[in-house]
Amino acid sequence: MIQMSVQTLVVTNAPNPSILVLCPTEDFEKHRDCRIVPIWLGVVEASQLGMSLENAHFARPMTHDLMMNALTSLDATILRVEIVAQKEQTFYAHLILHQGDRTIELDARPSDAISLAVRQGAPIFMDEDVLQKTSFPFLFHSDKDDQEEIKEFHSFVKNLHPDDFLE
């Protein structure tokens, strides 16, 4: 299992799918080239996940808040999310809970499991084979790279002479 982080969430309007983008945590933290995994979500699922990522609070509990309240009342905690398979266009996940001396594994949609994990700060993992089959290369381009390019360009221009343009 490879630990993953939410890189971004793109929430769209129906009928277009929203996209959750995951990246291996080690790559994400170092901001180097990495592999990303796009997971298409429905608008409602993406909105719920977005509220979790933004740590939004409402006067009345939302569905995932209700689930977290139930887990807390049952003295259960979320240990982790495991994204274990992908068949056709559907990802499959397990929500791993700890209650007393028991470990409980629940079948879950990745969007729901991740929404709950984000609320509790639990890690997200992906099966290595799933990562290899569903990921794409992504090259980070940072401001630091831009600044270095600007310095190089300034150095180049500073050292130019009119004679450089003569044949």
Residue 24 and residue 34 in contact, taking contact as beta carbons nearer than 8 Å: yes
Q: Which CATH fold would you assign to the domain 2-165? A: Bifunctional nuclease domain (3.10.690)
DSSP string, 155-167: HHHHT--GGGG--
120 pLDDT exceeds 80? yes
Q: How does 126-142 read in b/e, with b if 16+ C-beta sit within 10 Å?
A: bbeebbeebbeeeeeee
Range of lowest pLDDT (50-54, 67-71, 108-112, 132-136): 50-54
- Between CA 154 and CA 146 the distance in angstroms is 12
- The answer for residues whose C-beta is within 8 angstroms of residue 72's C-beta and 6 or more apart is none
* Side chain identity at residue 135, one-letter code: S
From 132, 136, 87, 133, select the one nearest 110 (Cα to Cα).
Answer: 87
pLDDT tens column, 68-116 = 888 888 999 999 999 999 998 899 999 999 999 999 999 999 999 999 9
> In terms of Cα–Cα distance, which of 15, 83, 78, 4 is closest to 43?
15
Query: What pLDDT sits at residue 16?
Result: 78
pLDDT of residue 165: 46
pLDDT of residue 94: 98
The tens digit of pLDDT for each residue in 34-50 reads 788 888 888 778 878 88
